[in-house]
Amino acid sequence: MMHSDNKNLLQNLFKSAYQSCLAEQAMPTHLSTIEYSDKVCIIGAGKAAAEMAAAAHAYFGDACYGTVVTRYGYETEKDTGAIEVLTAGHPSPDENSLLAGKKLLNLVEQTPNNIPVVFLISGGGSALACVPVDGLEFSEKLAVHQFLVKSGASITEINTVRKHLSALKGGKLAAVCRSSMTSLILSDVVGDDMSVIASGPTVIDHTTPQQALDILTKYQYPVSGKLEQILSRGTRVDTKHLHNTQNVIIANANVAIDAAANQAHQLGIKTHILSYDIEGDAQQVAKAHAAIALEYKRKGERILLLSGGEMTVKAKNATGEGGPNQEYMLAMAMELDGISGICAISCDTDGVDGSKDVAGAFIDESTLTRASKQGLSPDSYLYNHDSYHFFDQLDDLIITGPTNTNVNDFRAIYVNGMAD
């Protein structure tokens, strides 16, 4: 197969993966379980929040009202009725994140006990709805977040800190709800830990302030005296209302990867799911996966290797741009070193990998040859964590725009062991 054929094949598999997790498909069954007599209050935060709001309106009609917040550019053209759609900053919170967080908190507090609350949660919710604990300035909370994102900290570690610096995360939002609450969750977290997704605004938090402080110390964040005092005193959550809260995963990486595997089988391609929940440094994961691909190539097999999860990049002092999926692809291209018969794609299912509005990247046996012809040094780009500009110049970025869902990373390596 030619470069364009392979690229189209893997892009179509990626499309099948994320489309299997759209709100309009995943939500109706769960919305049917909500009992109400007159009105339903809808709140939401995440990159899929607008599409989820539209699905809620399509189901409940004029009975529902409320507010959701999504990323800039992730609004929907579908009708959301009386559900207001706000936009805010992601991956870094901004002033609109603060305004949205306060609005969601106030709406939940004011909802009477005879109106059920439905919280639509998807990845990105932590940044999009952001209210600091009493005594902490928004600017310092933002500084902590930006530092940890570049430190190589895992999403679980980042969200542990976020929860202890937030007035709504770590179960605090559900704690102020007087009525029943149901959270419908699109999971973008490895292992589907609901206390980690969007930092668990409706889930009892079992982490401690000391753990948050230990994480900051581990990554050498310059903790101010005020911040240390806030974490030392902790924040108490009234958990009695949380027992009236249901949290339901409606789609995750398993659903997405299985959809891609099913499509591959229909095309007559054998598949091997490496894992639904891989974590780790993008470069190290790439090396491990390249070794597996090379072994299948050596045996002359034709197979599609699929995996999900959430990779990280340690880019403290880097000057480049890109995300874990693009870095994974660049590292893999170097590891495969132009061997024939192997191509791969790695993308974030929300359509955004890192700081740019690109989902990820594609590589094949021609990647390094084409780079060399343009005078591009893969080693230099990888060292500077500048995978975005590397693949941009090769026209091998995967650009989807907003996918309207978010269920973590999607990786596919197609090995044709019979190729020359």
Least confident of 152-156, 196-200, 254-258, 350-354: 152-156
Provide the 3-class DSSP secondary structure of residue 310.
Answer: strand
| Cα(359)–Cα(341) distance, integer angstroms | 24
Q: Which residues contact 266 (CB under 8 A, 6 or more apart)?
A: none
Instruction: Tell me the C-alpha distance between 408 and 353, whole Å.
Output: 10
pTM score of the predicted model: 0.84
3-state secondary structure of 33: coil
**C-alpha to C-alpha distance for 62 and 98, rounded to whole angstroms:** 28
CA-to-CA distance for 150 and 312, rounded, in angstroms?
9
**Cβ-contact 307, 276 below 8 angstroms:** yes
At residue 92, the 3 state secondary structure works out as coil
What pLDDT shows up at residue 91? 84
Q: Which two tokens stand for residue 178?
A: 């007087």
CA distance 346 to 341: 17
pLDDT category at 257 given cuts 50, 70, 90 is very high
**pLDDT value for 159:** 86
**C-alpha to C-alpha distance for 325 and 398, rounded to whole angstroms:** 10
- For residue 236, pLDDT over 90 is answered with no
Q: Are 223 and 213 in contact (CB under 8 A)?
A: yes
pLDDT of 272 > 90? The answer is yes
By DSSP bridging, strand 397-398 and strand 360-363 are antiparallel
Sign of CA dihedral 30, 36, 38, 42: negative
Residue 181, pLDDT > 70, answer: yes
Alpha-carbon gap, residue 285 to 312, rounded angstroms: 10
Helices (H), 219-302: 225-233, 253-266, 282-298
- Rounded Cα distance, 123 and 352, in Å: 11
Residue 240 pLDDT exceeds 80: no
Number of other residues whose CB lies within 10 A of the CB of residue 135: 10
Identity of the residue numbered 212: A
**Contact criterion met (CB below 8 Å) for 209 and 133:** no
What is the reported pLDDT for 248?
A: 96
pLDDT at site 420: 61
pLDDT above 90: residue 232: no
Please, which pLDDT band fits residue 345 given cuts at 50, 70 and 90?
A: very high
Half-sphere exposure in the Cβ direction for 387 (13 Å, CA): 34
Q: CA nearest 276: which of 296, 256, 251?
A: 256
Let me know: does 385 contact 333? Beta carbons within 8 Å: no
């937030």: which residue's tokens? 166
Segment 142-156 mean pLDDT? 88
What would the pLDDT profile of 67-116 be if each residue is shown by its tens digit?
A: 999 999 999 999 999 999 999 999 889 999 999 999 999 999 999 999 99
DSSP conformation class of 357: S
Residues 311-339 pLDDT 10s = 988 876 677 899 999 999 999 999 999 99
Residue 153: closest CA among 310, 367, 325, 288: 310
Closest Cα to residue 302, out of 329, 254, 277, 265?
A: 265
| Average pLDDT rounded to a whole number, residues 218-222 | 95
Residue whose pair of structure tokens reads 């030392």 in the numeric block: 232
Q: What is the dihedral of CA 205, 206, 208, 214, to 10 degrees?
A: -100
pLDDT of 1 strictly over 60:
no
Mean pLDDT along residues 214-229: 94
Residue with tokens 């005193």: 233
Q: What percent of the chain has pLDDT over 90?
A: 81
User: What is the C-alpha to C-alpha distance for residues 378 and 361, in angstroms, rounded to an integer?
Assistant: 14
Residue 134: count other Cβ atoms within 10 Å of its Cβ: 8
